[in-house]
Amino acid sequence: MKTAFPYWRHRIAPVFDTARQILVVTSDAGMTTGKTEVTLADGHPTAKLLPLVELQVDSLVCGAISSQVRQMAVFYGITVVPFIAGDLDAIVRLWLAGKLAGDANAMPGCRRRWGRRSRDASLENVAPEELKAQNEPQDRLRIARHGRHSACQAAARRRKI
Amino acid sequence: MPEATSDEGRATAMGTKKPANTTPASTEAILESISDGVFTVDRDWNVASFNRAAEEITGIPRREAIGRPCSEVLRSNMCGDHCPLQQTLTSGRPIIGRSGYFINADGDRIPISISTAVLRDSGGTVIGGAETFRDLSEVEALRQELNGKAHVGDLTSRSPVMQKLFAILPAIAASPSTVLVLGETGTGKELVAHTLHDLSPRSRRPFIAVNCGALPDTLLESELFGYKAGAFTGAAKDKQGRFALAEGGTIFLDEIGDITPALQVRLLRVLQEKCYEPLGAVRSETTNARVVVATNRDLTALVKKDLFREDLYYRINIIRIELPALRHRKEDIPLLVDRFIDRFNRRQQKAVTGISTEALSLLMTHDWPGNIRELENLVERAFILCTEGNIDLAHLPGELLPHHPATAGKSNLRTVRSTVDAQAIQTALERNGFNRLAAARELGIHKTTLFRRLKKLGIPLPVKDGRNRR
């Protein structure tokens, strides 16, 4: 499977919408079988997804990502694991080992959501291949860490309005 | 402030350098009381202090922000190579009020303005930087409420119908489904198709437009699907079709209601199975181009008359966009005129400043059977006569004054008033089945006044008499 890691100065890029450098890691059973560097052009954030679609990327492990871009990624069958922060190599290692979940790798302000996520299909200790198999397209957005909580909050906001 | 102290201790424990928030207690109290978010960073770009407003705006607790790289806390579109704080620390000059957005934990883009400053110790040595940010969500919401979202891509409108369309256009663009665009000629069907393409992840791939009504059937078939060498006399080498050229992008099929039943069958197969055979080919080719079709004809009526295949109609009628005629969104005329004036000023290097109130009033009375295209052509025509200043009545064609030949050529407010009156009377008569009494009542005038106005404006009495319609 192929996983894309947008990065900046050798850490996961803080914002995918404006990221330029992507490391695409091809893996098989948790072992790296290939790496590709992709440079994205500036432009409309959704256009940044097209090179990932062309490379047949399965998952995107990234920092902050706007919901509009995330939904488009889901449309194109890419599983999004958002709001991840940390050293690029460490994150790649943890991802391949199926140990990426946990507060230590979450961006500030996203930690409490990890606890609530346990009600959703958990990413914790799940190998990337298993995650891919678990995620039906319609569930992909929800399964990404903030899914259910965000959806509830959005619904609450709509009700308020 | 106990919390800040414990956070500082935590930051030190996390291995960061001594924080830059060596501010006296009074300064901290001020920072805590203001409504702008403020944070400071040390020389390693780790957050050293984070005020109450910053917590509220970002939704990030101070204890989680302190000691973390500032780019992972703020998550702004400016973070990275265009970091304003880095520019300030490099140049020594503060940045005031740079606009951007940050992404909160829900994935929402929150508009902010950012200001930056260098932090120095008592000896003048740079110990870090300070960034102030202001939440512009409310300002942005108010601005949008006042202005409406008048532009999406190249589309311009403030009409409620178009606003609803603007709201769903990004979602339609994101979907790979076939789109059917309906609307009278000149309503901007191709522009909508282009905007859908520009907003979609396919925007870097080709947008190919084909006018199906402009080509004979056989030519259209080879144009759409291409042909192989030797397929017919003169086919010396392979030629790619428009579907192949639009690979990964969008193909726009205009005047879809004009294609023949034979071609409808072939098109149905492309839409259903995503494959087609170029003329003379023995193998099928696949396509992943997104299909947007448009027509100004009533497809349901064509289906009933067996002129358009029902199965093809249902296949293209997945997402349907109906564009209103310009006469149903006249509130957009001033906006569109401004846009066309801007465009022609740029193209023709002229300095036309706008349009006079009288001329604009006249445009508002016209029915615009040719819709936006007609309006654009009219502004272009006015540019020939008007090189600077405002477009006036004298720059508009005489046919815009259909009911008042006596005043043709006179450019004054009275002319416009007469035209508006004539238009209102004509509309009222038509709406009331030419019953003059009912029309007068609708206009709020006496029947005698109506007759007097008709005479004064030079409008002949309608041949049809609506008195006996009931």
pLDDT in tens, B237-281: 888 999 999 999 999 999 999 999 989 999 999 999 999 989 888
Q: How far is CA A141 from the centre of its chain?
A: 10
Q: Does the distance separating the beta carbons of A49 and B72 come in below 8 Å?
A: no
The identity of residue B350, as a single letter, is K
Q: Which CATH class is domain B328-400?
A: mainly alpha
pLDDT digits (tens, 9 = 90+) for B98-116: 888 999 998 888 999 999 9
DSSP state of B395: G
Out of A13, A49, A153, closest to residue B201 by CB: A49
Residue B438 pLDDT exceeds 80: yes
Rounded-to-integer distance, Cα B456 and Cα B215, Å: 50
Contact between B110 and B57 under an 8 Å Cβ cutoff? The reply is yes
Instruction: Give mean pLDDT, residues B38-62.
Output: 93
* Residues in chain B closer than 8 A to A17 (CB atoms): 77, 103
Higher-confidence position of B465 and B391: B391
Q: Does the distance separating the beta carbons of B64 and A109 come in below 8 Å?
A: yes
Rounded-to-integer distance, Cα B448 and Cα B465, Å: 16
The identity of residue B109, as a single letter, is R
What per-residue confidence (pLDDT) applies to A156? 40
Hey, what are B139's tokens? 């300002």
Contact between B49 and B132 under an 8 Å Cβ cutoff? The reply is no
Out of A71, A76, A146, closest to residue B106 by CB: A146
A10 burial level (CB within 10 Å; 0-12, 13-18, 19+): exposed
Contact between A45 and A58 under an 8 Å Cβ cutoff? The reply is no
Q: Does the distance separating the beta carbons of B71 and A153 come in below 8 Å?
A: no
Of A95-109, B146-160, B292-306, B349-363, the range with the lowest mean pLDDT is B146-160
Nearest CA in chain B to A154: B106
Give CA separation, B463 vs A5, B207, B348, in Å. Answer: 76, 51, 47
Give CA separation, B282 vs A71, B226, B264, B277, B460, in Å. Answer: 40, 13, 21, 7, 68
What per-residue confidence (pLDDT) applies to A59? 94
Q: Does the distance separating the beta carbons of B200 and A46 come in below 8 Å?
A: yes
Give the number of other CB atoms < 10 A from CB of residue B105: 25
Kindly state the percentage of chain B with pLDDT values over 70: 87
pLDDT digits (tens, 9 = 90+) for B114-160: 999 999 888 888 889 999 999 988 777 776 656 555 667 778 787 88
Tell me the β-bridge partners of B110. B102
Nearest CA in chain A to B60: A109
Residue B468 pLDDT exceeds 80: no
Give the number of other CB atoms < 10 A from CB of residue A83: 27
Q: How far is CA B423 from the centre of its chain?
A: 31
B238, HSE (Cβ side, Cα atoms, 13 Å): 7
The domain total for chain A is: 1
Kindly state the percentage of chain B with pLDDT values over 90: 38
Out of A14, A43, A50, closest to residue B71 by CB: A14
DSSP state of A17: G
Instruction: Give mean pLDDT, residues B18-31.
Output: 66
Out of A50, A83, A113, closest to residue B204 by CB: A50
Q: What is the CATH number of the domain that holds A87?
A: 3.30.420.130
What per-residue confidence (pLDDT) applies to B444? 81
Q: What is the DSSP string of B49-107?
A: EE-HHHHHHH---HHHHTTSBHHHHH-BTTSSTT-HHHHHHHH---EEEEEEEEE-TTS
Helix %, strand %, coil % of chain A (to 5): 45, 25, 35
Residue B229 pLDDT exceeds 80: yes
pLDDT digits (tens, 9 = 90+) for B310-337: 999 999 999 999 999 998 888 888 889 9
Number of helices and strands in chain B (H, E): 20, 18
CATH-assigned architecture of domain B151-324: 3-Layer(aba) Sandwich (3.40)
| Domain definitions of chain B by residue range | 2-140, 151-324, 328-400
Q: Which residues of B touch A (CB under 8 A)?
A: 58-61, 64-65, 68-69, 71-77, 79-81, 102-109, 170, 174-176, 198-205
Nearest CA in chain B to A155: B106
Hey, what are B150's tokens? 């008048």
Instruction: Give mean pLDDT, residues B200-211.
Output: 89
* Residues in chain B closer than 8 A to A20 (CB atoms): 80-81
Give the number of other CB atoms < 10 A from CB of residue B166: 18
* Residues in chain B closer than 8 A to A64 (CB atoms): 75, 102-103, 107
Residue A160 pLDDT exceeds 50: no
Tell me the β-bridge partners of B389. B352
Out of B69, B102, B204, closest to residue A47 by CB: B204
Beta strands in B260-367 (DSSP E): 275-276, 285-286, 290-295, 319-322, 351-355
ipTM for this prediction = 0.74
What per-residue confidence (pLDDT) applies to B301? 92
What per-residue confidence (pLDDT) applies to B23? 56
What per-residue confidence (pLDDT) applies to B293? 95
* Residues in chain B closer than 8 A to A68 (CB atoms): 107, 170
Nearest CA in chain A to B172: A72
Give B400's pLDDT tier (boundaries 50, 70, 90).
Answer: confident
What per-residue confidence (pLDDT) applies to B437? 85
Rounded-to-integer distance, Cα B136 and Cα A140, Å: 32
Residue B215 pLDDT exceeds 70: yes
Give the number of other CB atoms < 10 A from CB of residue B262: 11
Residue A41 pLDDT exceeds 80: no
Residue A159 pLDDT exceeds 60: no
- A interface mutation test: which of B73, B106, B137 has the most A CBs within 10 A? B106
What per-residue confidence (pLDDT) applies to A124? 40
Instruction: Give mean pLDDT, residues B49-57.
Output: 94
Of B200-204, B353-357, B404-408, B410-414, the range with the lowest mean pLDDT is B404-408
Give B169's pLDDT tier (boundaries 50, 70, 90).
Answer: confident
Residue B371 pLDDT exceeds 90: yes
What per-residue confidence (pLDDT) applies to B117? 92
Longest CA–CA separation in chain A, Å:
50
Q: Does the distance separating the beta carbons of B80 and A65 come in below 8 Å?
A: no
Out of A18, A146, A150, closest to residue B77 by CB: A18
* Residues in chain A closer than 8 A to B72 (CB atoms): 11, 14, 63, 85, 107-108
Out of A15, A44, A107, closest to residue B203 by CB: A44
What per-residue confidence (pLDDT) applies to A142? 35
What per-residue confidence (pLDDT) applies to B218? 80
CA dihedral B146, B151, B152, B155 (to 10 degrees): 140
Say which CATH topology domain B2-140 has: Beta-Lactamase (3.30.450)
The helix (H) or strand (E) run that includes residue B33 is helix B25-33
Name every residue whose Cβ is closer than 8 Å to that of residue B238 and which is 6 or more positions away in sequence: B226, B227, B228, B229, B278
Out of A20, A43, A108, closest to residue B64 by CB: A108
B29 burial level (CB within 10 Å; 0-12, 13-18, 19+): exposed
Name every residue whose Cβ is closer than 8 Å to that of residue B383 and which is 6 or more positions away in sequence: B344, B348, B350, B352
Rounded-to-integer distance, Cα B263 and Cα B241, Å: 14
Higher-confidence position of B116 and B419: B116
Mean pLDDT estimate for chain B: 83
Rounded-to-integer distance, Cα B336 and Cα B331, Å: 9
Q: Does the distance separating the beta carbons of B103 and A66 come in below 8 Å?
A: yes
Nearest CA in chain B to A45: B201
* Residues in chain B closer than 8 A to A116 (CB atoms): none
Give CA separation, B356 vs B123, B216, B353, B377, B391, in Å. Answer: 63, 46, 10, 18, 6
Portion 89-128 of A in contact with B at CB < 8 A:
107-111, 113
Winning range, highest mean pLDDT, from A127-136, B66-75, B363-372: B66-75
Instruction: Give mean pLDDT, residues B196-204.
Output: 87
pLDDT digits (tens, 9 = 90+) for B281-310: 888 899 999 999 999 999 999 999 999 999
What per-residue confidence (pLDDT) applies to B402? 52
Give B14's pLDDT tier (boundaries 50, 70, 90).
Answer: very low
SS3 B351: strand
What per-residue confidence (pLDDT) applies to B9? 36
Rounded-to-integer distance, Cα B27 and Cα B143, Å: 34
Domain that holds residue A93: 2-160
